[in-house]
Each structure stands twice: as structure tokens, then as C-alpha cells.
């Protein structure tokens, strides 16, 4: 099994606060890796450093043996690393179709065809419809992003990331605030995705994570305190104490 | 439910489109026949000025309305082109051809806007806007203080007006108000349709994505700084075209065309017209310049009234004149 994404003692401090401290993670190809941890454990900060939104205080990030620690965001995306956000980050005044279409356009090229209509990129349009179908938003293609229900906006969040045709997809609590039905649909979509690509999932819903992940890393107070299969994590004493134990109380 | 909405659209779209074509056609007829209605050269020049400032406000719309970048001193780039052409014609070659001076003016603007833009796009939204003021004031001071070359606050006079000719085919003279009107109309129309096309292209879609959500744009792989810089250069180049047109309309260049108040006026025109439509800017320029002309016959404090009008507009009609028209079209669709 090859490792696609790994970090080497990755750290991020804000002033004196160590939001992420010497975090090491190994993500295997076409596997579903989950990162769990209590609120404020540093999961989102970890994502932000991984994807170039924050610069790392120390440590390295490798994607397919390539050091991407200091790369600008758009170049990291170009390598095939796409992400979603915990707080919806959409092109809010554009239609659902355009939200996905523009992501596909950036991936597939044509941005400098300055005298053609944006609707003329046939390949991009076809791929956009396919992506919308995948995340269940085909019927709402003409709606504006700000007219969607919260659950649909979460789906669109995933749709935009998928339109970038990632090699590795980083999801930040994709099902937060979704209804049970929507959660199930997204969960099965995530599972299905691992047939083709690698997925990293930050999630609060421990049961969901336990049921669909191949491997789990547990974060607590900025550190990764355990890494292993769901079974191993379930048995890990440290994890029980720091995280799962808390929930039982 | 969705299907009924899309059905309604397909049924009613042609009517909205028809209105649109009729409106365009009428406007063209009016613009072409205008010198026959307005025979007073003063007003012919005023209308020409509206076309030029409309184009300038439109070029600001490219960065403000489409890309989400605020420039307080966009008129400065018009001024740079105007002074470039003025100085060249006065000191170097009084017989310079119209086309050459266009090329010269726009090239110089691009050469200045490029490094300045490069710096500006490396800052956030607020700092970007502040830097436009800083650079704008710098250009203005430079022109103001270089009295020996630019004439300082007196302005630069004695700019020979070239003939409008394609090769040996002479179409008219830039000293004739009607000729200059038609010439300006042609240049402005070409710039307008070209820019409109570019904004509707995949390139324009990228700019809009930056406006809608810069963070997300970066995370779908947009090199945000590069596209911002390209939009900036496009906007400044168009402002350069305005500068050359304006020089020949007036036959002189004055530093007031690039001071802070001029920058604010262009911003007001763009806002009056409505953001993100391009054509709205022309309406905004018309309202502003006619308003200024009309109110200033009654009081010299016309800026107070103009400022008040813009304030009311921003509060009650944030989409500007274009928004009003769009609202009408949407209503007629229902």
C-alpha cells in the first residue's frame, strides 16, 4: 500500500498556543482516513495547514513524496488535493450549476478562451452535470446557492470539491447539521468515492466514522494521540480517556 | 416544482429577449442620430464626455463589479494616458497619428499599472483600496509638481488634434465635435462589446468566482493574484483608452482630471449605474454628468447634492440604475 499524504511533525502555533503540535499522519491510497477528536482539538487547523491556507510553524507535508509545505493553495489544488469546509464556503450569489461548473473549468482548462461564452465548454458542462448528479443536486442546478437548504449547501460544498477531480479529497465535517437521510446519502457517497480516490474525513459523528473508515487518527489538544483501524482505536486506552471516555460520562 | 419554474422560463424568455433587442436597437438609433437632435456643440461635447466617462466607469466595473476590487483613483490611469499623449504631441511629434498615440497612451498605462497592480494584489481588500489612493495621489502630485513639462495646475495646452484616418482614407478631424462624437462612439462601442464578451467568457467566470468567494476560488485552484492582476491591467488599459479620447475631445489636459475628486466621481458613476452590468456604468456617467451640468446652473455646491443622491441610492437602490431595469425585466417575466 502506498502512502499518498503524510505529515512529518507538523506544527502550527498562534502566538503561544500550539493548535497543532508535532502531528504525524499517514494516508494510504484509496482508503478512507478519518481524523476525530473533541472540539478544539485542532482538526480544522490541521486541515488548514495541510492545504496551504495556514503556513506551518514547523514540520513538513508530503503528497506523493513531494514536499508541498510551502506551496501556494492553488498549486496544491492543482496536484489533486481538494477540500471542503466546516463552514459553508460557496459562491453564494451564483447558481448551483455555476458553483460546480467553475471548479470543473479550473480543473479542465479553458479559462483563457476570452472570446467564447462560458457555456461553450462542453466537456466542462458534461462533467458538471455528472458531478451534480453524484451529490444529488441535479434538480436544483438553476437555484442560487443562497436559496438552498442547509443540507443541500453541504452537498454543494462536496460537489465543488469533487468537480476539481481530486486525487485526495479532504472533507471537514461534511454531514454537520444534515438530516439523517442526507447523512446516509453523503456517507455512502464518501464510501463509494474510495473506489477511485483517497478520502480524509474530519468528523464529529463517531459512530459514522467507526462504521465507514479504514483508518482513524485521533487528535487531542493539537496532538495525534493514536492512529489505527477502527477496532484498534476502539480499544486504545489513551483514546478512551481523552475522547471516547468523555462521551460515556 | 423545479420543472414548472424552468418551463416558465423557457416560455417567457423569448419575450424578455425581444425587449432586450428592441432596447438595444433603439439605443443605437438614438446614439447614431444624436448629433442631428443635439446641434449645440457644447452639448455634443458633453455627450461625448459622457461616453468617455461611461467607458471609464465601465472599466472600473470590471474590477469592482466583476472581481470585487475597489479602486478609489481609477481616473488616475485615464490621466496617465492623457498626459502621455499630451506630452508626446506637444514636445515630440505634433503630427503624430491618432492610432500611434492610442498605442502609446495605452502601452504606458499598462507599463505603469502592471508593477503597481502586482504590488496591490498582494494585499487584502482594504489595503488594496488604500494603495489605489496612495498611488493615485502620487501620480497626481508628480503631474502637479512637474510644472516645466506638464504645465502644473494650469494644465497642458496646445495639443494638436490629429485627423481621423484609416491609411489615406480621411474620415474627419478630432477638432470637429460631430466627428469626435462618432469616433468616440465607435471606440467606446468596440471596447464595450469586447469587454462584455470577455466578462461573459470563462475568464469572466473566474473573476466572478473571486468576487463571490476569494477563499473558495483559491481552493478550486484559481491563482487569485494572477487573475486579479489581469483584471486590473484590463481595467487600467481601458482607462488609458479613455484618456486618449479625452485628450482629443478637450485639446488640453488638466490635473483635475486625475485628482481625488475625479477618482471619487468615477466611483459614483459606477455605483449610480449599478455593479456588474457594464452598461449600467454608461447610465451612471450620464446621470452624473448631466446632473452636474444641471445642478451647477443653480448652485456651485452641486457636489453636496450629488453626494446626497449617491448616498440615497446606495441605501435604497444598491443595484443602481441597472438594478432598476433588471427588476422591471424580471417583473415583466412573471
CB–CB of A74 and B222 under 8 A? yes
A1-80+167-249 classified as CATH 3.40.1160.10: no
Summarize pLDDT for A50-63 with one digit per residue, the tens. 999 999 999 999 99
A164 touches chain B (CB under 8 A): yes
Q: Has residue B5 got a pLDDT over 80?
A: no
Residue A241's pLDDT is what? 79
Question: Domain residue spans in chain A?
Answer: 1-80+167-249, 90-165
Q: Which residues of chain A have pLDDT under 50?
A: 247-249
Nearest to B219 among A83, A93, A140 (CB): A83
Q: Which of A74, A84, A100, A152 to mutate to test the interface with B (most CBs of B within 10 A)?
A: A74
Q: How far is residue B249's CA from residue B242's CA, in Å, rounded to a whole number? A: 10
Residue B312 inside a domain? The answer is no
Task: Provide the 3-class DSSP secondary structure of residue B80.
Answer: helix
CB–CB of A90 and B215 under 8 A? no
Q: How crowded is the C-beta side of B91, counted as CA atoms within 13 Å?
A: 11
Nearest to B220 among A94, A121, A164 (CB): A164
Q: What are phi and psi of A243, to 5 degrees?
A: -135, -65
Weakest mean pLDDT among A150-164, B165-179, B316-330: B316-330
Q: What are phi and psi of A150, to 5 degrees?
A: -60, -45
Summarize pLDDT for B12-26 with one digit per residue, the tens. 557 778 888 898 899
> B237: pLDDT confidence band, cut at 50, 70 and 90?
very high
Residue B194's pLDDT is what? 96
CB–CB of B2 and A142 under 8 A? yes
Q: Tell me if B292 sits within 8 A of B277, measured CB to CB.
A: no
Summarize pLDDT for B262-278 with one digit per residue, the tens. 999 999 999 888 888 89
Summarize pLDDT for B86-130 with one digit per residue, the tens. 999 999 988 888 999 999 999 999 999 999 999 999 987 789 999
Pick left, alpha or beta for residue A67 (phi over 0 → left; psi -120 to 50 → alpha; otherwise beta). beta
Q: Has residue B9 got a pLDDT over 80?
A: no
Q: Which of B122, B202, B208, B330 to mutate to test the interface with A (most CBs of A within 10 A)?
A: B202
Q: Sort out which chain A residues have CB atoms less than 8 A from B217's CB and list them.
A: 91
Q: Residue B83 to residues A55, B73, B180: CA-CA distances in angstroms?
A: 44, 16, 19
Q: How far is residue B99's CA from residue B325's CA, in Å, rounded to a whole number? A: 37
Q: Has residue B135 got a pLDDT over 70?
A: yes
Residue B100's pLDDT is what? 93
Residue A249's pLDDT is what? 42
Residue A175's pLDDT is what? 86
Residue A75's pLDDT is what? 95
Residue A233 grid cell: 482505536
Task: Provide the 3-class DSSP secondary structure of residue A6.
Answer: strand
Residue B119 grid cell: 504590488
Strands in chain A per DSSP E:
3-14, 17-23, 26-28, 32-36, 58-63, 66-67, 81-83, 168-172, 198-202, 215-220, 223-228
Q: Residue A190 to residues A64, A173, B215: CA-CA distances in angstroms?
A: 21, 12, 24
How many helical (H) and strand (E) elements, i.e. helices and strands, does chain A have?
10, 11
Nearest to B267 by CA among B230, B320, B228, B224: B320
Residue B2's pLDDT is what? 37
Looking at chain A, the whole-number percentage of residues with pLDDT higher than 90 is 61
Where are the alpha helices (H) located in chain B, listed in sequence order? 2-37, 41-61, 75-87, 98-120, 125-145, 147-150, 177-200, 202-212, 214-219, 224-250, 260-273, 279-295, 302-316, 320-333
Encode A10-42 in three state secondary structure. EEEEECCEEEEEEECCEEECCCEEEEECCCCCC
By CA distance, what is B6's nearest residue in A? Answer: A142
Q: Tell me if A19 sits within 8 A of A13, measured CB to CB.
A: yes
A105 touches chain B (CB under 8 A): yes
Q: How many CB atoms lie within 10 A of CB B58?
A: 30
DSSP H or E segment with residue A125: helix A122-134
Residue A199's pLDDT is what? 94
Residues 6+ apart with CB under 8 A from A246: A38
Q: Sort out which chain B residues have CB atoms less than 8 A from A107's CB and list them.
A: 220-221
Domain total for chain B? 1
Q: Sort out which chain B residues have CB atoms less than 8 A from A100's CB and list them.
A: none
Which letter, b or e, does each residue of A1-18 get, where b requires 16 or more Cβ atoms within 10 Å of its Cβ?
Answer: eebbbbbeebbbeeeeeb
Q: Sort out which chain A residues have CB atoms less than 8 A from B202's CB and list them.
A: 105, 110-114, 116, 118, 121
Encode B131-198 in three state secondary structure. HHHHHHHHHHHHHHHCHHHHCHHHCECCCCCCEEEECCEEEEECCCHHHHHHHHHHHHHHHHHHHHHH
Task: Provide the 3-class DSSP secondary structure of residue B199.
Answer: helix
CB–CB of A118 and B202 under 8 A? yes
Query: How many angstroms away from the CA of B171 is the closest CA of chain A?
Result: 29
User: How many residues in total does chain A contain?
Assistant: 249
The CA angle A2-B216-B61, to the nearest 5 degrees, is 150
Q: Sort out which chain B residues have CB atoms less than 8 A from A139's CB and list them.
A: 2
Query: How high is the ipTM of this complex?
Result: 0.92
Name the DSSP class of A118.
G
Q: Sort out which chain A residues have CB atoms less than 8 A from B221's CB and list them.
A: 74, 77-78, 103, 106-107, 164
B14 touches chain A (CB under 8 A): no
Q: Which of B219, B230, B319, B326 to mutate to test the interface with A (most CBs of A within 10 A)?
A: B219
Q: Has residue B3 got a pLDDT over 60?
A: no
Quote the radius of gyration of chain B (alpha carbons, Å): 20
Domain span at residue B69 reads 37-257
Q: What is the mean pLDDT of residues B233-250?
A: 95
Q: How crowded is the C-beta side of A39, counted as CA atoms within 13 Å?
A: 2
CB–CB of A142 and B5 under 8 A? yes
Q: Sort out which chain A residues have CB atoms less than 8 A from B200's CB and list them.
A: 117-118
Q: Has residue B311 got a pLDDT over 90?
A: no
Q: Which of A53, A91, A149 to mutate to test the interface with B (most CBs of B within 10 A)?
A: A91
Residues 189-228 of B with CB under 8 A from A: 197-198, 200-206, 208-209, 212-213, 215-224
Q: Report the Cα A69 to chain-centroid distance in Å.
A: 17
Q: Sort out which chain B residues have CB atoms less than 8 A from A92's CB and list them.
A: 212-213
Nearest to B219 among A73, A105, A121 (CB): A73
Q: What are phi and psi of B167, to 5 degrees?
A: 65, -125
Longest dimension (CA), chain B: 71
Residue A179's pLDDT is what? 85
Residues 6+ apart with CB under 8 A from B70: B63, B64, B125, B128, B129, B132
Q: Sort out which chain A residues have CB atoms less than 8 A from B212's CB and list them.
A: 91-94
Q: Sort out which chain A residues have CB atoms less than 8 A from B197's CB and list them.
A: 114-115
Residue B290 inside a domain? The answer is no
Q: How far is residue A145's CA from residue B61's CA, in Å, rounded to a whole number? A: 23
Q: How far is residue B143's CA from residue B152's CA, in Å, rounded to a whole number? A: 6
Q: Sort out which chain B residues have CB atoms less than 8 A from A114's CB and list them.
A: 197-198, 201-203
Q: Has residue B138 got a pLDDT over 50?
A: yes
Nearest to A98 by CA among B11, B30, B200, B169: B200
A77 touches chain B (CB under 8 A): yes
Q: Which of A87, A92, A111, A115 to mutate to test the interface with B (most CBs of B within 10 A)?
A: A111
Amino acid at each position: 500500500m502506498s502512502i499518498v499524504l503524510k505529515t512529518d511533525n507538523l506544527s502550527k502555533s498562534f502566538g503561544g498556543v500550539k493548535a497543532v503540535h508535532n502531528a504525524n499522519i499517514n494516508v494510504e491510497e484509496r482508503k478512507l482516513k478519518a481524523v476525530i477528536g473533541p472540539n478544539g482539538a485542532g482538526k480544522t487547523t490541521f486541515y488548514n495547514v495541510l492545504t496551504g491556507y495556514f503556513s506551518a510553524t514547523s514540520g513538513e507535508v508530503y503528497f506523493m513524496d513531494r514536499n508541498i509545505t510551502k506551496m501556494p493553495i492553488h498549486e496544491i489544488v492543482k496536484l489533486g488535493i481538494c477540500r471542503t469546509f466546516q463552514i459553508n464556503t460557496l459562491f453564494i450569489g451564483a447558481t448551483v450549476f455555476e458553483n460546480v461548473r467553475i471548479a470543473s473549468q479550473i480543473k479542465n482548462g479553458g479559462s483563457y478562451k476570452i472570446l467564447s461564452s462560458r457555456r461553450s465548454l462542453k466537456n466542462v458542462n458534461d462533467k458538471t452535470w455528472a458531478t451534480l448528479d453524484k451529490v444529488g443536486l441535479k434538480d436544483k442546478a438553476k437555484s442560487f446557492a443562497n436559496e438552498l437548504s442547509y443540507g443541500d449547501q453541504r452537498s454543494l460544498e462536496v460537489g465543488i470539491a469533487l468537480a476539481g477531480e481530486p486525487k485526495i479529497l479532504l472533507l471537514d465535517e461534511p454531514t454537520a447539521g444534515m438530516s439523517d437521510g442526507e447523512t446516509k446519502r453523503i456517507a455512502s457517497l464518501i464510501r463509494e468515492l474510495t473506489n477511485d480516490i483517497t478520502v480524509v474525513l474530519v468528523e464529529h459523528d463517531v459512530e459514522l466514522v467507526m462504521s465507514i473508515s479504514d483508518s482513524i487518527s485521533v487528535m487531542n489538544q493539537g496532538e495525534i494521540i493514536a492512529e489505527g483501524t477502527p477496532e484498534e482505536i476502539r480499544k486504545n486506552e489513551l483514546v478512551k480517556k481523552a475522547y471516547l471516555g468523555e462521551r460515556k460520562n | 416544482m423545479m420543472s414548472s419554474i424552468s418551463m416558465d422560463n423557457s416560455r417567457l424568455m423569448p419575450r424578455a429577449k425581444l425587449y432586450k433587442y428592441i432596447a438595444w436597437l433603439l439605443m443605437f438609433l438614438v446614439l447614431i442620430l444624436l448629433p442631428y437632435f443635439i446641434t449645440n456643440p457644447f452639448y455634443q461635447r458633453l455627450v461625448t464626455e459622457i461616453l468617455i466617462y461611461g467607458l471609464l466607469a465601465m472599466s472600473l466595473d470590471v474590477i469592482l463589479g466583476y472581481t470585487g476590487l475597489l479602486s478609489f483613483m481609477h481616473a488616475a490611469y485615464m490621466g496617465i494616458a492623457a498626459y502621455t499623449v499630451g506630452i508626446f504631441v506637444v514636445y515630440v511629434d505634433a503630427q503624430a497619428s491618432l492610432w500611434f498615440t492610442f498605442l502609446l497612451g495605452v502601452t504606458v498605462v499598462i507599463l505603469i499599472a502592471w508593477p503597481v497592480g502586482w504590488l496591490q494584489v498582494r494585499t487584502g481588500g482594504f489595503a488594496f483600496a488604500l494603495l489605489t489612493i496612495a498611488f493615485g495621489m502620487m501620480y497626481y502630485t508628480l503631474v502637479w509638481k512637474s510644472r516645466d513639462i506638464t504645465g502644473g495646475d494650469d494644465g497642458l495646452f496646445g495639443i494638436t488634434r490629429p485627423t481621423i484616418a484609416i491609411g489615406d482614407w480621411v474620415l474627419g478631424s478630432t477638432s470637429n465635435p460631430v466627428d469626435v462624437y462618432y469616433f468616440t462612439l465607435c471606440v467606446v462601442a468596440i471596447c464595450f462589446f469586447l469587454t462584455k464578451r470577455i466578462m461573459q467568457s470563462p475568464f469572466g467566470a473566474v473573476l466572478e468566482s473571486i468576487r463571490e468567494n476569494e477563499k473558495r476560488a483559491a481552493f478550486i485552484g484559481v491563482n487569485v493574484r494572477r487573475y486579479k492582476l489581469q483584471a486590473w491591467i484590463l481595467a487600467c488599459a481601458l482607462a488609458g483608452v479613455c484618456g486618449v479620447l479625452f485628450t482629443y475631445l478637450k485639446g488640453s489636459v488638466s490635473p483635475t482630471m486625475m485628482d481625488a475628486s475625479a477618482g471619487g466621481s468615477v466611483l459614483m458613476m459606477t455605483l449610480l449605474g449599478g455593479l456588474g452590468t457594464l452598461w449600467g456604468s454608461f447610465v451612471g456617467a450620464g446621470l452624473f454628468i448631466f446632473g452636474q451640468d444641471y445642478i451647477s446652473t443653480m448652485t456651485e455646491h452641486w457636489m453636496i447634492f450629488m453626494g446626497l443622491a449617491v448616498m440615497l441610492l446606495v441605501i435604497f437602490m444598491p443595484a443602481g440604475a441597472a438594478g432598476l431595469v433588471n427588476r422591471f425585466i424580471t417583473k415583466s417575466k412573471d
